Amino acid sequence: MGTLINTLFRTVLLDDGAFEEWHERPNLFARGIVLILVISLLVAVVTFVTNVYNMVKPAEMVVAEIDEGFDVAAEVMENIFLGMPGFGTMDPEAQEGMRMALQAYRESIPLYKNMVADIVQIQAPLPRGISGFLQALGMWLTGALSSIAGWMVYGAMVLVVVNLLGGSAKLPDFLGMVSLYAVPTLLGLLAALLRLFGSVPILGWLLGALAFLLGLAAIIWAVVVYIKAVAVASGLDTGRAILAVIAPPAVLFVLALVLAVLFGFWIAFLAAVL
């Protein structure tokens, strides 16, 4: 186990020897699945614990928090609309219309609160604590399984481009190799821990900014490791490995843009005809 952890640690430092050691390990595809699964669960453990807390707390507490949220939203709306520049110079009728709209919203808040309270307090077949825990657990496991699915689908698309660029690799070994990208995402766990203190006075914004930077660093670092893994697995040079990694999202973006433009033309045509 110590040797494995050492190898994984060295891959994030882009050590050529570590990538080769990982590449030579048996059952690389199975190892990739385990690596993605374990790291995805670890990175999301803070979110899991938070979800458990939110889903098992008493319904009365949830209703009180929602009530407070409605009141805060009403105050924010008033500050935005009544305090915006130029409100005092607006037409009196426009000012009155805006005040009436805000008043109507305030008068409707009790109705919304009652509706939400009725929904929250619906009795489930299982006690709230058990059902809430199972929901949070399901979300936690679903997120990890989604990470595995994304790793497989994106890896398969990258391998198609690799073959077009002259590289070669078997899909299971290739997927096992590029699974190393997950190691740097462990920084996301530290970022999630920092976000827990976002409401702390004075330090909250600083910790939030640090969490954002850690998350951004994790993404960039993961992309770099992915590119390195593609180059080792396929025999491509770094330039072609970069092209292989960025080509699938670029192609998907262009296709989405073309479809959006065609859809816009089709809507315009229908509008002109009808």
For residue range 153-195, list pLDDT tens digits in order. Answer: 999 999 999 999 998 889 999 999 999 999 999 999 998 888 8
Which residue's structure tokens are 């976002």?
Answer: 198
In terms of Cβ atoms closer than 10 Å to its own Cβ (0-12, 13-18, 19+), residue 28 is buried
Percent of the chain with pLDDT over 90: 43
Confidence of residue 87 (pLDDT cuts 50, 70, 90): low
Number of H helices and E strands in the chain, helices first, is: 11, 0
Q: How far, in Å, CA of 142 to CA of 80, rounded?
A: 39
Range of weakest confidence among 92-96, 129-133, 265-269: 92-96
Angle, to 10 degrees, between the axis of helix 128-164 and the axis of helix 238-273?
110
Q: What is the pLDDT of residues 115-136, one digit of tens each?
A: 666 665 556 565 667 777 888 8
Looking at residues 93-116, what average pLDDT do you find? 69
Contacts of residue 240, defined as CB under 8 A and 6 or more positions apart, other chains included, come to 165, 166, 167
